[in-house]
Structure 1
């Protein structure tokens, strides 16, 4: 079975300006890219690099907020609704400018009792604003080791929030790394939630390095996800153990 892979430029080729990282991904054989926080790069420069390479952009993240204050997303934080919606507006505007197909709305770190309601209200705002452009809104559960205190921790909660939000264009960003790092069986989690999954990412567990080592056999797992109905790109969101090029042996073998 032929699989398609996207390069997450939040972790890959980070030594390069973002437009050059897009070109590097094309040369390496990726057929799409995805971004973290591209806002310091002029959207027209990105658009030119994307046009040159023909690579689609699968998604980007809303702003983390004030890093000095420990922000890691805003949309579940009660009292920060204005900031959260400004971040959503910024992400959607950038996504539209470069033709990105999805925006990941980051929940943030909070244990406030009103967090769930706040997150749902902001997701409805994002989904309604994204709908005319055909942009998908993604939410991603993040494990407690990488982001202690992050509001959204598991796919079951994500699925329930999507159901309550009641918008067809909100989907789960299913990161195999976060599922595995949380100690859950990845294939079982995928099967339980595949009807709500909008994008799949992966990296080695537990060190988040190249995916051809670690506790999960991705060479076996990823074809099973495709056989289970997933038809999108698999997002390579790993931190290279050395240089990006030095760790790309898996791509030629699996592609």
Structure 2
């Protein structure tokens, strides 16, 4: 089956494979674009210790696959933690390497997190949110010369901005920054939120959409096995004029690794019928 041309697949969906194996599987299923996972501890397709040779090697592997890269999903550390001068140097170096990877793979954007993997702020919540917004804005300024955009998954169930209200508070701080938002159905549903409410609030800022199913408290379900209303959410996006792309990010726990290709194909067929 031919999938919708705006629907891609994150390499995180096949994180149990090495990068060449993941890319071969995704291309073999019929996808033409990917999100490239570069998240330490979640997806090791991109080495965390990045230098110029490592960036070039990953870019060469991706180019050989023939797949287009929509975004690089990366992490430069907890954006709500204050940094020492040395830590600042290290974060800037890692950011520059991720931007170089995005540029060399011709990705549209680098995606950065919305804070640490903790709902509790390091300091006061307002101070933490100010830090996250400042770090994202600074990254966007640094990225401007590369032609790469900065996006953030503004609602992430495990991170500082874990629900719609926190996402609202962060987004309010990003006005005028040029930072785009990534909407993830699973994180919204897991937090007890509504995808349509998220779309109504943030549709003008949504740059990309991740697709996975969920129930409150659990983001790791295959599409169709949770409570996410993909039909209603995708219609709401279309009604608001969304013309961006979508990516299956199937970091699921309800299928075995050998079942993942078939599960991804079923999900892609279902979503293609709704876009």
Deviation at 1:253, TM superposition (A): 4.1
Q: TM-score, normalised by structure 2?
A: 0.77
The residue number in structure 2 matching 1:69 is none
Quick one: distance in 2 between partners of 1:217 and 1:116? Answer: 29
SS in 2 for 1:58: strand
Distance 1:76 1:85, change over 3 A: farther
Report whether the alignment pairs 1:141 with 2:154. yes
Report whether the alignment pairs 1:162 with 2:174. yes
- What number of residue pairs does the alignment pair up? 239
Q: TM-score, normalised by structure 1?
A: 0.82
Report whether the alignment pairs 1:242 with 2:259. no
Q: How does 1:114-133 map to 2 (within 5 A)?
A: 114-133=127-146
Q: In 1, are the aligned partners of 2:196 and 2:232 still within 8 Å (CA)?
A: no
Q: In 2, are the aligned partners of 1:19 and 1:46 still within 8 Å (CA)?
A: no
Q: How does 1:1-255 map to 2 (within 5 A)?
A: 2=4, 4-10=6-12, 12-37=13-38, 38-40=45-47, 42-63=54-75, 73-79=77-83, 82=88, 83-106=90-113, 107-108=115-116, 109=118, 110-113=121-124, 114-144=127-157, 147=158, 150-153=159-162, 154=164, 155-163=167-175, 166-168=176-178, 170-206=179-215, 207=218, 208-240=220-252, 241-243=255-257, 244-247=260-263, 248-255=265-272
CA displacement, residues 109-155 of structure 1 (integer Å, 9 cap, x when unaligned):
433133223223222221111112221111113444xx2xx322333
CA displacement, residues 45-95 of structure 1 (integer Å, 9 cap, x when unaligned):
43334334432212223336xxxxxxxx32221235614433322321221
- Stretch moving more, 218-227 or 208-217: 218-227
Quick one: distance in 1 between partners of 2:91 and 2:129? Answer: 14
Q: Which ranges in structure 1 are unaligned for 5 or more consecutive residues? A: 65-72
The residue number in structure 1 matching 2:42 is none
Report which of the two has the higher share of strand: 2
Distance 1:5 1:115, change over 3 A: same
SS in 2 for 1:57: strand
Distance 1:178 1:254, change over 3 A: closer
Q: Which ranges in structure 2 are unaligned for 5 or more consecutive residues? A: 39-44
CA displacement, residues 192-242 of structure 1 (integer Å, 9 cap, x when unaligned):
211011111121112422212211232453244234322122111122422
